[in-house]
């Protein structure tokens, strides 16, 4: 499971092979090293696969209330008054334990590398160090755990709907993670560079034509899922040609968090390893979204940012 992610889950009978086309990394994060995940992390996850978890994790039934870009919405298969399901979950206790284990290890190693950290909450090590490489391998395994967990949740949700609504068909719109650090190629000052992009509380936002997009979405860009706060409106946005130039394909995940830092990084930090999940949307017989009774201050702040000219197209749709 820690090697295969959602790909492993499908092989075990959870979900459909075609789901993988609509999951980040096609459901499997390369470079995972399960042997670097502690026994305690594995023990914590042993009975947790297929569970949502606590905190801000949720599974919501939503209604699509409004659409701003009909052409792109049509490609994603979304229409007003559709019903959709939104799942927010991740690697549960395993990801949290990976972060805890490597935070302690990096704090202990900091002095050896001449790193003087201004806060005890900070932990880091050089990427090419033993600690940095070990953390990346364990974190990638945690990403696969999250991908597998959401795939199992999708399968269980489909089974439940099939029992209650036999004619319902739940098609996966997109599954994207929002607590990751990945090595990617981006254009910086006109030159391609290999960069570690750490998205914490943020997801990628691939632009139209990007080779990592499923063929069905390649002409319009990646669905970007902005989750509400269990009662406020959620949104589906889309990556645009400006996404790369403006933010290395990074967009916020929910209203509560800022953009994740991106760019060349000399250090690998031990943050939550996909512990607070991703964003996965499913279309039921139709899809979903709820209207926000009164815009919050945070909502207005993000909305002002998101609707800046040239930033990216937007329309309410779904979260996570």
Q: Of 115-129, 157-171, 276-290, which gets the smallest average pLDDT?
A: 276-290
The pLDDT value recorded for residue 103 is: 92
CA atoms of 209 and 215, how far apart (whole Å): 9
The pLDDT value recorded for residue 268 is: 40
Q: Which pair of tokens denotes residue 158?
A: 């489909």
The pLDDT value recorded for residue 260 is: 31
CA atoms of 127 and 292, how far apart (whole Å): 43
For residue range 87-133, what is the model confidence (pLDDT) as tens digits?
989 899 999 999 999 999 999 898 899 988 888 778 889 999 999 99
Q: Where are the domains of the chain?
A: 5-316
Q: Of 181-190, 231-240, 288-297, 305-314, which gets the smallest average pLDDT?
A: 288-297
Would you place residue 198 in the very low, low, confident or very high pLDDT band (cuts 50, 70, 90)? confident
Sign of CA dihedral 147, 151, 156, 158: positive
Alpha carbons within 13 A on the beta-carbon side of 26: 9
Q: Is there a contact between 203 and 279 (Cβ–Cβ < 8 Å)? A: yes
Higher pLDDT, 23 or 120: 23
Q: Quick check: 300 pLDDT over 60?
A: no
Q: What is the DSSP letter of 34?
A: G
Would you place residue 275 in the very low, low, confident or very high pLDDT band (cuts 50, 70, 90)? very low
The pLDDT value recorded for residue 98 is: 95
For residue range 214-242, what is the model confidence (pLDDT) as tens digits?
999 999 999 988 887 767 888 999 988 87
Q: Is there a contact between 27 and 5 (Cβ–Cβ < 8 Å)? A: yes
For residue range 34-63, what is the model confidence (pLDDT) as tens digits?
999 999 999 999 999 999 888 778 888 999
Given CATH 3.10.20.30, say whether it is the number of domain 5-316: no
Residues 6 or more apart in contact with residue 237 via CB below 8 angstroms: 205, 223, 224, 225, 226, 251, 306, 312, 313, 314, 315
Q: Which pair of tokens denotes residue 202?
A: 């943020």
- Please report, for residues 17, 131, 178, 234, the alpha-carbon distance to residue 253 in angstroms, rounded to integers and kept in the order given: 26, 28, 6, 10
Would you place residue 282 in the very low, low, confident or very high pLDDT band (cuts 50, 70, 90)? low
What average pLDDT is seen over the chain? 80
- CA terminus-to-terminus distance, the chain: 22
Which pTM value belongs to this model?
Answer: 0.80
CA atoms of 281 and 59, how far apart (whole Å): 10
Nearest C-alpha neighbor of 177 from the set 51, 104, 88 = 88
């Amino acid at each position: 499971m820690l090697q295969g992610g959602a790909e492993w889950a499908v092989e075990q009978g959870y979900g459909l092979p075609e789901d993988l086309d609509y999951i980040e990394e096609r459901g499997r994060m390369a470079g995972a090293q399960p042997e670097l995940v502690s026994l305690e992390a594995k023990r914590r996850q042993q009975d947790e696969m297929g569970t949502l978890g606590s905190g801000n994790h949720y599974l919501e039934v939503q209604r699509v209330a409004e659409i701003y870009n009909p052409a792109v919405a049509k490609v994603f298969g979304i229409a007003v008054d559709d019903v959709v399901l939104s799942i927010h979950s991740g690697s549960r206790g395993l990801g949290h334990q990976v972060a805890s284990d490597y935070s302690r290890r990096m704090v202990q190693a900091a002095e050896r590398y001449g790193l003087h950290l201004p806060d005890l909450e900070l932990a880091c090590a050089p990427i090419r160090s033993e600690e940095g490489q070990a953390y990346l391998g364990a974190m990638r395994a945690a990403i696969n755990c999250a991908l597998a967990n959401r795939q199992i949740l999708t399968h269980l949700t489909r089974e439940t709907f099939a029992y209650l609504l036999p004619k319902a068909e739940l098609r996966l719109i997109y599954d994207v993670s929002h607590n990751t650090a990945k090595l990617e190629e981006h254009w910086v000052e006109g030159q391609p560079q290999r960069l570690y992009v750490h998205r914490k509380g943020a997801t990628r936002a691939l632009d139209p034509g990007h080779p990592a997009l499923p063929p069905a979405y390649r002409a319009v860009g990646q669905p970007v899922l902005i989750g509400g706060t269990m009662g406020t409106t959620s949104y589906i946005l889309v990556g645009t040609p400006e996404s790369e130039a403006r933010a290395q394909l990074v967009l916020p995940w929910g209203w509560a968090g800022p953009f994740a830092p991106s760019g060349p990084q000399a250090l690998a930090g031990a943050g939550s390893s996909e512990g607070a999940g991703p964003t996965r949307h499913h279309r039921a017989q139709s899809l979903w979204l709820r209207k926000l009774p009164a815009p919050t201050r945070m909502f207005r702040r993000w909305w002002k940012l998101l609707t800046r000219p040239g930033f990216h197209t937007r329309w309410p749709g779904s979260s996570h």
